[in-house]
Amino acid sequence: MLNDSIRVFLMVVEKKSFSKAAKALFLTQPAVSFQIQMLEEHYSTRLFDRVSRNIILTESGELLYKFATEMNNMQQHLEKDMQELNSTIIGRLRIGASNTIGEYIAPYILGTFKKRHPKVTLSLDVSNSDEIEMAIHGTTLDVGLVEGPPVGKDLESIPFLDDELVVITSPNHPWAKHDSISVFELDKYPFISREKGSGTRAEIEHHLKLAGFSANNLNVMMRLGSTTALKTAVKSGYGFTIVSRWAIKNDLKAGTLAMVKLKEEEFKRRFRIVYHKKKFKTQANEEFLRFLKTEQFF
């Protein structure tokens, strides 16, 4: 097992912040500071210099980082070889999911995987697609489940689940009485948008452009940070929005939302698995990727 202080040290270096390292490790900031202090006392040296609000490694810190990284890589290889020898999949997986997937799909996927591999510890971070990509790049997350193709280098992307984006309104909205509307009618009523960095927002803008309608023509009333918030605003009568069909199944059954199709084209997309090409994969990581690629979830 990697020493706790070394594990904390590596995360502080990766995050370039004591507070962000604490959040990633589910620790308090004082606990992180204590672990670094223990290392500094053990080696009788300072590991970080604090410059303004930034922290940078000292020469001693650089030396420790070099050996700590090698130790971490050796441990990962050892764990993988041991698991293969014992035919038991164990370990920890850090999964990131963009908002729609994280709220409506990932809990089912992770629950199914956990039943098959009870000795794997799973954690799920839900954020927008851009932030998930950044975390994969920074190796804070092992696997990401996102709503569009990644834009960063060194990332592998594989489709795993089909989706469709649909217009939704409250049951009392004028469009609720129609089976379909034209994309060129979307500027008639207030639109509730996702925030910048959202995979869903990027896909909507892409499909609108293909249909010949600029997203700049939408009458954006507000921008919200989750699909749940969008649905609540729509139910309250503040306007219409466009969301994943996966997110509204129960709402349609309950009659609290209405779905309207677009005449021009269906807004189809595929959810994607994203992971770092160069990062070492544990057996648990490889098994989860195989599980995502081969299983039929719904």
CATH (domain of 182): 3.40.190.10
Same domain, 145 and 279: yes
pLDDT tens-digit series, residues 187-218? 999 999 999 888 889 889 999 999 999 999 99
Same domain, 259 and 248: yes
Same domain, 254 and 175: yes
Check which CATH number belongs to the domain holding 10 and give it: 1.10.10.10
**pLDDT over threshold 70, residue 41:** yes
Contact between residue 275 and residue 196 where contact means Cβ atoms under 8 Å apart: no
Same domain, 278 and 146: yes
Q: What is the pTM of this model?
A: 0.66
Same domain, 12 and 105: no
**pLDDT over threshold 90, residue 239:** yes
Contact between residue 285 and residue 142 where contact means Cβ atoms under 8 Å apart: yes
Contact between residue 32 and residue 15 where contact means Cβ atoms under 8 Å apart: no
Residues forming beta bridges with residue 92, ordered by sequence position: 121
Same domain, 69 and 106: no
Same domain, 55 and 116: no
**pLDDT over threshold 60, residue 1:** no
The DSSP secondary-structure symbol of 185 reads G
Same domain, 123 and 186: no
Domain count, the chain: 3
Q: How much is the average pLDDT of 22-26?
A: 82
Residues forming beta bridges with residue 261, ordered by sequence position: 180
| pLDDT score recorded for residue 3 | 77
Same domain, 146 and 185: no
Q: What is the CA radius of gyration of the chain?
A: 23
Contact between residue 216 and residue 141 where contact means Cβ atoms under 8 Å apart: no
φ and ψ at 4, to 5 degrees? -60, -40
Contact between residue 55 and residue 17 where contact means Cβ atoms under 8 Å apart: yes
Same domain, 101 and 117: yes
| pLDDT score recorded for residue 82 | 67
Task: Choose one of 86, 106, 127: the last residue of a domain.
Answer: 86
Same domain, 233 and 172: yes
Q: How much is the average pLDDT of 58-87?
A: 78
Q: How much is the average pLDDT of 223-246?
A: 94
Task: Choose one of 86, 116, 147: the last residue of a domain.
Answer: 86
pLDDT tens-digit series, residues 94-141? 999 988 899 999 999 999 999 988 989 999 999 888 888 888 887 788
Q: How big is the CA angle at 126 (ends 14 and 284), to the nearest 5 degrees?
A: 65
Range of the domain at 219: 164-268
Task: Identify the residue with better confidence: 208 or 298.
Answer: 208
